[in-house]
Amino acid sequence: MRSALRVLTLIAVPLLLMLILPLGRLRGHRLHLKTCLQTADELREGAPLRISGVEVGSVRSVRVQPADHLCSVMVMMELKTDYELRIPRDSKAYSGTLGILGATYVGIDSSDTSGPPI
């Protein structure tokens, strides 16, 4: 009887953990954003997304749209944090580099904003 209980425990505990652990990931905050840039500046999929110098996500895709003069580069981003970020709708996105020869990233500047959150 005890060995059957041990076997049941050895099976049940990992199954229970497999069900509970993904629920912890659901508590994180995810937000899909898109923006237009005039130039890509070597921006690539997987590049960091930063707000106030803190990495909060990554670039999902970069698409060139030469026929669209208002949006010549469409950038899709995914923000992933453990907490909710309320980014003002009138924030500005820009591309930058980490140092002189560093990797390219997308930054969001919300220092001079007053609009409602996204």
Q: DSSP string of the chain?
A: -HHHHHHHHHHHHHHHHHHHHHHHHHTSEEEEEEEEES--TT--TT-EEEETTEEEEEEEEEEE-TT-SS-SEEEEEEEEESS----BTT-EEEEEESSSS--EEEEEE-TT--SPB-
4 occurs within a structural domain: no
45 occurs within a structural domain: yes
For the segment 63-73, the average pLDDT, to the nearest whole number, is 90
118 occurs within a structural domain: no
- Which CATH number covers residue 93? 2.40.30
13 occurs within a structural domain: no
Name which residue leads in pLDDT, 25 or 60.
60
Task: Give the range of the structural domain holding residue 104, as residue numbers without chain letter.
Answer: 28-109
76 occurs within a structural domain: yes
**What's the number of domains the chain is made of?**
1
Whole-model pTM: value is 0.72
17 occurs within a structural domain: no
